[in-house]
Amino acid sequence: MDPSIFLQYSPPNGLPQESKLVTYMNRSTSTPSRTLNQALGKLNLESSPTAIKKVFISEFVPLNYFSHTNILPDSPESSPPSTLASIPNTQVHQENVGGTTYFYSTNSDSLNTTGGLNSSASMGGNDACMGGHGSNAGSSPYASQIYTGTPTHMGPMSSKPGLAASFYMPETIRSEIYQRNEEVFLQTDLRQYPDLPENVEMYSELTPLESAAPHSMATSFRAAHRHSGDQYALRRLHSYSGVATKRLEMWKQIDHPNIVRLHDYFTTNSFGDHSMVLVYDYHPACETLMNKYLAGGGSNSVTDANGAFHDPFSSDPDAPRPYTHQKNAMLRAVACGALLPEAVLWSLLVQLTAALRAIHTAGLACRALDPTKVVMNGCRVRVAWCGVADALHTNTNDVAQAQQEDLTALGRLALALACRTIHCDNLSACMDLVARTYSADLKNLILYLLSTSTARRSVTDLMPMIGARFYTQVEALERRADAFEDQLAHEIDNGRLLRILIKLGVINERPELNMDASWSETGDRYMLKLFRDYLFHSVSPDGRPWLDQAHLAYCLNQLDGGTSARVELMSRDEQSVLVVSYAELKHCLEQAFDEVMQAAVSPP
Ligand SMILES: Nc1ncnc2c1ncn2[C@@H]1O[C@H](COP(=O)(O)OP(=O)(O)OP(=O)(O)O)[C@@H](O)[C@H]1O
């Protein structure tokens, strides 16, 4: 290109006064000090080889937008943060090609000042969205790139033989998360529960957790903390006459992935009596082991969609039942293939022994390890409502004995899961089934747990029986973590780009700001308006909307990274084309958004 076609910009003469670009250009008053050749050297029109020839935005075809050399800022890390505070000292050249005026900024400072430094990628959560004041943490060239696909070690993920498909397949992750979110975000109609108090100490929006009619001793609720809005699971012990022991304080210290954490406890008269309330982490979409594997709603169905075995007598566990029913329940489970794969049983047992180990090491005992008090979501098992027994029975001091009972309870639970029935009174028939269906290790583990010998048992003795299956569990969890990380890598950019779209939306076409009706049409905002047109309203030469979502994502990434890549913005009258870097656009965006935010918080 002939450098002589560049004219030095000296406002206001170089620009028609009626042009809206004047407002933008007026912010630069300094006389250009660089020579035209220097200025030209800074321009990198090769990044858009068609830039000069193309006149209409509608003809613009994005090129090289996956090329790293084009999209990375030169050296964002080395850009001094102080340059963010001042408007770049832009020097502008203009050029007329075929009646269309092109404007170029030539000051190198303006190209990279904001590049990546205040990238949304480095912004923290809400703060970033609301205030737009991101941290000045290290810039990230990544911000300007489009993420790559699934790493090769990930896909296609298939379940490994020996691991239950329903446990570790990544496809289940999305539905698991939807299910949890649905439970958390769907508002319950609280008018259904007129008898419940509106507030219980710091908690409100109480929703019963039990589906069946609650009994008179204890009830459970989901509730929201009135300050933080976080969800908690509350266990109310009715007509409480005990005194909280120091064991509850010890339970509060236990933080383990297989134990539902106790956060707090207090007594209250809000329910019309003197109740004790224990406050736990709320885990959405939980199901008890009882519901998931041992019981079901349908009286005649044998298995449900999850493969849960349905015991026709389960609606009333205390109802007398014939011996043949107990035996037949097991036989039916075997016949219809409802027995759990051994890998699933070991996974449950590894997690439950991990929980017991933590509890016993802390000098506590679970005292209520039964299938209605162990909950699952996803493939995670957690012991629920820990500490309730200690709150109820304050004078039981024999922890060692209670720990032995925990082990027996674990044995009963393992046997019930293996036979898929809670009716395991006929021990020899049950053990026979276990011996025929599962490995000797599983049988030995159950026998050890159920042994009535006087020798003291310990949860750590179970380790040799679990043996190498422990590694299978670790491997499965690592695969699951890989799948989560991969999902995260895909989704992480959505939030980043959404923040930019929010900012653009807040600024573009704003009817007025601070009594200025032309605010969104002038100054920095005019550039953003043209950018918005370029992004969303480009048309093909024959006037059809030109839509390319990859290009949209590319441009938004460039904007977020504040790169030195340039973009042609055409005025709506097609008389002027502004050639600007994403760094400048980003600066405009931050400035304008800050103005709106300041107006929002300043008193009327
Ligand atoms: N921390 C928790 N977060 C979310 N849900 C939970 C939590 N703990 C338990 N749940 C769920 O709450 C529901 C009710 O539990 P609860 O133990 O009260 O059941 P229950 O069978 O009515 O027992 P009980 O008769 O002893 O009250 C269960 O479906 C369980 O999955």
In the reported structure, the alpha carbon of residue 180 is separated from the centroid of ligand 1 by a whole-number distance in angstroms of 16
Same domain assignment for residues 99 and 211: no
Is the CB–ligand 1 distance for residue 377 below 6 Å?
Answer: no
In the reported structure, the alpha carbon of residue 374 is separated from the centroid of ligand 1 by a whole-number distance in angstroms of 9
Same domain assignment for residues 538 and 596: yes
Position 444 confidence tier, pLDDT thresholds 50, 70, 90? very high
Same domain assignment for residues 413 and 519: no
545 lies in a domain? yes
Is the CB–ligand 1 distance for residue 233 below 6 Å?
Answer: yes
- CA distance to 37, 202, 237, 365, 463, per residue, from 400 (Å): 86, 36, 25, 8, 20
Residue-level pLDDT at 150: 58
Residue-level pLDDT at 50: 33
Residue 89 has pLDDT above 50, yes or no: no
* Comparison of pLDDT for 354 and 303, the residue scoring more: 354
Contacts of 430 (CB under 8 A, 6+ apart): 330, 415, 418, 419, 424
**Last residue in a domain, options 438, 467, 496:** 467
Same domain assignment for residues 133 and 225: no
* Predicted confidence (pLDDT) per residue in 248-270, tens digit: 999 999 999 999 999 999 999 99
Q: Tell how strand 92-97 and strand 100-105 pair up.
A: antiparallel
Residue 55 has pLDDT above 50, yes or no: no
List the domain range (segments joined by +) for residue 236.
190-281
Position 17 confidence tier, pLDDT thresholds 50, 70, 90? very low
- The residue with tokens 């992480």 is 492
- CA distance to 231, 374, 381, 383, per residue, from 283 (Å): 9, 12, 11, 12
Residue-level pLDDT at 16: 41
Position 425 confidence tier, pLDDT thresholds 50, 70, 90? confident
Same domain assignment for residues 201 and 251: yes
* Predicted confidence (pLDDT) per residue in 588-604, tens digit: 999 999 999 999 998 87
In the reported structure, the alpha carbon of residue 391 is separated from the centroid of ligand 1 by a whole-number distance in angstroms of 17
Tell me the pTM: 0.65
Closest ligand 1 atom to Cα of 288: 31
**Last residue in a domain, options 254, 281, 308:** 281
Position 240 confidence tier, pLDDT thresholds 50, 70, 90? very high
* Residue 286 annotated as part of some ligand binding site: yes
Same domain assignment for residues 20 and 130: yes
Residue-level pLDDT at 521: 85
Residue-level pLDDT at 281: 97
* Predicted confidence (pLDDT) per residue in 131-148, tens digit: 333 333 334 555 665 555
Contact yes or no for 106/566 (Cβ under 8 A): no
161 lies in a domain? no
Q: What is the tally of structural domains in the chain?
A: 3
Same domain assignment for residues 231 and 321: no
Q: Say how far apart CA 495 and CA 127 lie, in whole Å.
A: 13
From the number of C-beta atoms within 10 Å of its C-beta (0-12, 13-18, 19+), residue 577 rates as buried
**Last residue in a domain, options 445, 467, 489:** 467
Looking at the chain, the whole-number percentage of residues with pLDDT higher than 70 is 64
In the reported structure, the alpha carbon of residue 382 is separated from the centroid of ligand 1 by a whole-number distance in angstroms of 12
Q: Say how far apart CA 362 and CA 249 lie, in whole Å.
A: 11
* Predicted confidence (pLDDT) per residue in 499-555, tens digit: 999 999 999 999 888 888 888 888 889 999 999 999 999 999 898 999 888 899 899
Structure-token pair, residue 493: 């950019």
Residue-level pLDDT at 351: 95
CATH number of 274's domain: 1.10.510.10
Same domain assignment for residues 292 and 277: no
